[in-house]
Amino acid sequence: VTRQEAVEAALSRIRAAQGANNAFITVTDPPVPAAEGAVSPLAGVPMAYKDNICTKGVRTTCASRILGDFTPCYDATVAERLTAAGAVSLGKLNMDEFAMGSTSETSCFGAVKNPWDLTRAPGGSSGGAAAAVAAGEVWYAIGSDTGGSIRQPAAYCGVTGMKPTYGTVSRYGLIAYASSLDQMGPIARSAADCAAVLDIMMGKDVRDATSLDAPAGGLLASLTGDLRGKRIGLPVDCLGEGLDPEVRAAVLAAAEVLKARGATVEEFALPVMEYVVPAYYIIACAEASSNLSRFDGVKYGWRAQDYGDLEELYAKTRTQGFGTEVKRRILLGTFVLSSGYYDAYYKKALQTKAVIKAAFDGAFTKYDLLLTPVAPTTAPKLGESLSDPLKMYLSDIYTVSVNLAGLPGLSMPCGFDQKGLPIGAQLIGPALGDAAVLNAAYGYQ
C-alpha cells in the first residue's frame, strides 16, 4: 500500500466505526503524505492523539465543555517529534473529561463504546484511543496515563499499551491532570509497535522540567524476546480478594507462557497494595485541583454568559463548564490541601507514596519484572460506574501503584473471558527498565 492508500483506508474505517463506538472527538483530513521513502518506521502510518494532547491548529478539548472551542497555537513535544518522523494524525480521540475516570463515559461528547461489545465501556480514560486501535481505525494512538489510563483501556479492548518510566517522555503540551503522575505513551497492536512509537516519543526536552536526560531510542532494535534467566515476581496481593477468577486464571496462564520462554516466576508478598488507591486519589485530586484552577473563563476556551463581576465570571464558567466527576475531584483535592487537613491527608498520602515506591524498589532487588492483572474484571457495562464512583476508583488498584512509583508498566492481551471480552496482563519494570518490559511482552506475543 502507498501512504495515500493507507490514509484513505483508515479514514473510511473511521467513518464506518464512529457512529458505533464514538472513539473520535475530531477527525482531521491530513495533508497528502509526502513522497514515499522511509524517514522512520512510522512514516505515513495513520495514528491519532488523545484529546488532552495539544495539537497546533486542531481543537483540543479534554472532552470538556470548558475547553470545547480551545485550539492550541502549538504542538506538544510528542506531536512535534512524531510529525517530524512522518506520523500522519487523523485527529483527536475521545476520553473521560480531563482524563478523570476509568470508563470514558464522562466525556461531554458522549461515552465511548467498546468495539468488542457496544453495550460495554472501553475503559478509560484513554478509551477512544484503545477503541480506535481495536477497531482498526488507526495503527496506533497516543494516550496519557496518570493512574492506568493507557493500560486499563488497552486491557479492556484487547490491545497493547505502555506507560513508560516517569520523565522519559516530555509532558510539554499534555494538558495536566496530576503532573507528578502524568505520562504519555502508545496504545498499539503489539509490544513491537509500542517500541517503535516510544523510540520517537522518548528523550530529553528542556520544556519539561521533569524530563530525564536518559538515553532514548533503540527500543525496537533491542527486542529479542529472549526471556531466559529473567526473574519475574508475581505479587500475591494482586491475585486475591476482588479479582475475577477468569482474570486470575488468564494472568496465571500468561505466567506459564513466560516460564516456557525461559523465565522463572515466583509469588511474593507486596502488602502495600492495600494503600495504593487511597494514596493515589488524594494525590491525584490535590494536583488536579491546583492544575485546573487555570480554567477560569479568562485565559482559555469557553466563558459563561451573563455575569455581573469577575468573581461571578469565574464561578459561572466553572460551574457550567466542568462536569460532575471533575467537580467532585476539584472539591476533594481542595479539601485535602486545605489548612487543618493537609497533614492528615495530603502529607500522609505523600509519605505513603514513598513507602509504596520503596516496596517496589525492594521487589526489584529480587526480580527483573513483575506480573499482575491490569484490572480486577473485564470491561464493565456502560452506566455501571457512573452510579458507583467508589467502586470505579477501587478498580484502579493494579495500575495506580505504577504511577505512584514512577515505573514503566505495559498492558498486553492474555486471553478472553467466557463472554468473549479481552483480558489484560500487566508487566512492570524498575525505573528506566522500559526495554526489559517491552522485551518480555515481545517474547510473550
How far apart are alpha carbons 255 and 425 in whole angstroms?
A: 9
Spot the catalytic one: 104, 125, 385, 395. Answer: 125
**Is 338 in the active site?**
no
C-alpha cell at 433: 527498565
Q: Which residue is nearest to ligand GLN (CB)?
A: 149
Q: Give the residues lining the site for ligand GLN (CB under 6 A).
A: 99-102, 125, 145-149, 177, 284, 396
**Is 102 in the active site?**
no
How far apart are alpha carbons 427 and 372 in whole angstroms?
A: 7
The residue assigned the cell 467537580 is: 327
Can you say whether residue 91 is alpha, beta or left, with left for phi > 0 and alpha for psi between -120 and 50 degrees? left
Count of beta carbons in the 10 Å neighbourhood of residue 242: 10
Taking the complex as a whole, the smallest distance from the CB of residue 177 to ligand GLN amounts, in Å, to 6
Count of beta carbons in the 10 Å neighbourhood of residue 57: 11
Q: Measured from the CB atom, is 156 or 444 closer to ligand GLN?
A: 156
Spot the catalytic one: 50, 113, 230, 353. Answer: 50
Taking the complex as a whole, the smallest distance from the CB of residue 345 to ligand GLN amounts, in Å, to 16
The residue assigned the cell 516466576 is: 265
Q: Which residues contact 105 (CB under 8 A, 6 or more apart)?
A: 96, 111, 112, 121, 124, 382, 383, 385, 386
Spot the catalytic one: 102, 107, 149, 401. Answer: 149
Taking the complex as a whole, the smallest distance from the CB of residue 351 to ligand GLN amounts, in Å, to 20
How far apart are alpha carbons 149 and 104 in whole angstroms?
A: 10
Q: Measured from the CB atom, is 9 or 394 closer to ligand GLN?
A: 394
Taking the complex as a whole, the smallest distance from the CB of residue 180 to ligand GLN amounts, in Å, to 13
Q: Measured from the CB atom, is 254 or 284 closer to ligand GLN?
A: 284
Taking the complex as a whole, the smallest distance from the CB of residue 47 to ligand GLN amounts, in Å, to 20
How far apart are alpha carbons 203 and 337 in whole angstroms?
A: 33
Do residues 301 and 70 make contact, with C-beta atoms less than 8 angstroms apart? Answer: yes
Q: Longest Cα pair distance anywhere in the chain, in angstroms?
A: 70
Taking the complex as a whole, the smallest distance from the CB of residue 307 to ligand GLN amounts, in Å, to 31
How far apart are alpha carbons 367 and 233 in whole angstroms?
A: 6
Q: Measured from the CB atom, is 393 or 444 closer to ligand GLN?
A: 393
**Is 50 in the active site?**
yes
Angle made by CA atoms 401, 150, 203, in degrees to the nearest 5? 90
Through-space distance between the first and last CA atoms of the chain, rounded to whole angstroms? 25
Which residues are the active-site residues? 50, 125, 149
